Amino acid sequence: MKLIVKGGRVIDPANGRDGDFDILIDNGVVARIGKDLPVEGASVFEIKRGWIVSPGLIDIHVHLREPGQEHKETIATGTASAIAGGFTAVACMPNTEPVNDHAGITEFILKKATEAGRARVYPIGAVSIGSKGEQLAELGEQKHAGCVAFTDDGRPVATALLMRRALEYAEMLGVPIVNHCEDPSLKGDGVAHEGYVAARLGLRGIPGEAESIMVERDISLAELAGAHVHIAHMSAQQSLRAVRAGKDRGVKVTCEVAPHHFTLTDDSLDGPVKYDTNFKMNPPLRATADRNAMLEGIADGSVDVIATDHAPHHIDEKMVEFDHAPFGIVGLETAVPIVFDRLVHPGRISLTRMIELLSVNPARVLHLPGGRLDDGAPADLTVLAPDLPTTIDAGKLVSKSKNTPFDRWQMVGGVIATIVGGKVVYRNAAID
């Protein structure tokens, strides 16, 4: 079974490759990359002028909700959403029911992912049993079962001592700790960024410092432990300052930013539809200065990864009072258009940097295969169309949940096709 991805610009930053190439795929792996490869015996995927062939995009912050919350998303629907968004692989968070704090649950997730046969799934296990922040989970067993990192996402690792031990232990295993940084006492029962908008709308605020205090703590602890900490969904300018300072002095700290945090601000809560719960996420949409800081950090290289924090919720859960709605929005299918429209086309980043943020670096941070097109590597590819007009239609999202703040947004840039293991698993129906 041979497939040739013919023509088009291939950007493979990890191999320093950027030019018009054909990619021959044989038996699911990259067999050859070259100019004008012979097509005989292979089916042909024709790449049109202007399209880009990238190593498969990887989203390292996704909530697939299975087991336990299948009314929001399943591994099958979540990975269908991933490939529709151009992602060939996702790392899924452990805050399922039960929490993925055990090898058996990791194995279940991987089995379901194989059955679904869409995107690759890399489970991230819980740091502590039940993510309760008390006792370390069996990280070694979980890693053996397939976990690629550990986090108590949704909840921060609240005590410095547990975080220290987790970092030390995970470093021994060669995997990072991913932390949802948020000081629980400063967050309180906050539901929105602590700024003028929340103050006027009477919403309890979460200051940027709730995040940055723990970012600073974790960077110090990573330094102490000589371990790798990855800061999840960074949103506050103070956190970015802390990450830059940590990187400057050589601490193994990496970070990710979600598309909504470099696109939207808390002003959205006071938009045409006030208190729209599709603008409620944690960390919250912050002030313009924070949003702009995230754009800067992405442009100057301080930010390593763009990850969506895809957090599906059922409409019944979101159609309630703002205080009572769960935090989170879906993100897998809106990320690529937003990155093109908000980062690439305005000239903030190059196409190469886009692919680093969405493919090369996610693979590096979690030590995943992928992120590069080596001979013999699994043929995971994303075909992108920078000039494709894309309109987001929440009702038509592939994800089981439709909780997006980007409904009806018109953007330029989209996904043409997603190829996983040499198989075209997604093709944009709007094209031919």
Among 195, 208, 297, 312, binds another protein (CB under 8 A): 195
Alpha carbon separation from 2 to 5, 43, 89, 167, 317 (Å, rounded): 10, 6, 22, 44, 46
* DSSP state for residue 274 in the 8-state scheme: B
**Does 375 interact with another protein (rule: CB under 8 A)?**
no
Structure token pair of residue 427: 């093709």
Instruction: Give the count of beta carbons closer than 10 Å to the beta carbon of residue 315.
Output: 12
> Which residue stretch of 23-31, 119-127, 238-246, 313-321 sits at the interface with another protein (rule: CB under 8 A)?
313-321
**Does 190 interact with another protein (rule: CB under 8 A)?**
no
Among 87, 108, 275, 340, binds another protein (CB under 8 A): 275
Minimum separation from the CB atom of position 185 to another protein (A)? 10
Supply angle C-alpha 408, 410, 61, rounded to 5: 80
CB environment 141-158: b (16+ within 10 A), e (fewer): ebbebbbbbbbbbbbbbb
- Which 3 state secondary structure label does DSSP give 42? coil
For residues 329 and 122, what is the distance between their CA atoms, to the nearest angstrom? Answer: 21
Among 32, 48, 111, 200, binds another protein (CB under 8 A): 200
**Does 205 interact with another protein (rule: CB under 8 A)?**
yes
Minimum separation from the CB atom of position 359 to another protein (A)? 39
Is residue 235 within 8 A of residue 291, CB to CB? The reply is no
> Which residue stretch of 33-41, 204-212, 254-262, 424-432 sits at the interface with another protein (rule: CB under 8 A)?
204-212
For residues 359 and 371, what is the distance between their CA atoms, to the nearest angstrom? Answer: 5
> Which residue stretch of 191-199, 240-248, 371-379, 384-392 sits at the interface with another protein (rule: CB under 8 A)?
191-199
Please state the φ and ψ torsions of residue 251, each to the nearest 5 degrees. Answer: -70, 145
Structure token pair of residue 356: 């680093």
* DSSP state for residue 329 in the 8-state scheme: B
Minimum separation from the CB atom of position 319 to another protein (A)? 6
> Which residue stretch of 63-71, 156-164, 318-326, 406-414 sits at the interface with another protein (rule: CB under 8 A)?
318-326
**Does 273 interact with another protein (rule: CB under 8 A)?**
yes
Minimum separation from the CB atom of position 289 to another protein (A)? 13
**Does 189 interact with another protein (rule: CB under 8 A)?**
no
**Does 323 interact with another protein (rule: CB under 8 A)?**
yes
Q: Which residue, among 71, 87, 130, has the nearest Cα to 105 in the 3D structure?
A: 130
Catalytic residue, from 153, 183, 309, 341: name it.
309
Q: Which residue, among 383, 424, 380, 417, has the nearest Cα to 29 in the 3D structure?
A: 380
Minimum separation from the CB atom of position 406 to another protein (A)? 19
Minimum separation from the CB atom of position 202 to another protein (A)? 3
Residue showing tokens 């790798």: 228
Among 32, 111, 144, 324, binds another protein (CB under 8 A): 324
Is residue 417 within 8 A of residue 426, CB to CB? The reply is yes
**153 is an active site residue:** no
Q: Which is nearer to another protein, 195 or 328 (CB)?
A: 195
Is residue 136 within 8 A of residue 169, CB to CB? The reply is yes
> Which residue stretch of 130-138, 269-277, 289-297, 337-345 sits at the interface with another protein (rule: CB under 8 A)?
269-277
Binding site for another protein (CB under 8 A): 194-196, 198-205, 207, 273-275, 316, 319-324
- Enumerate the active-site residues: 309
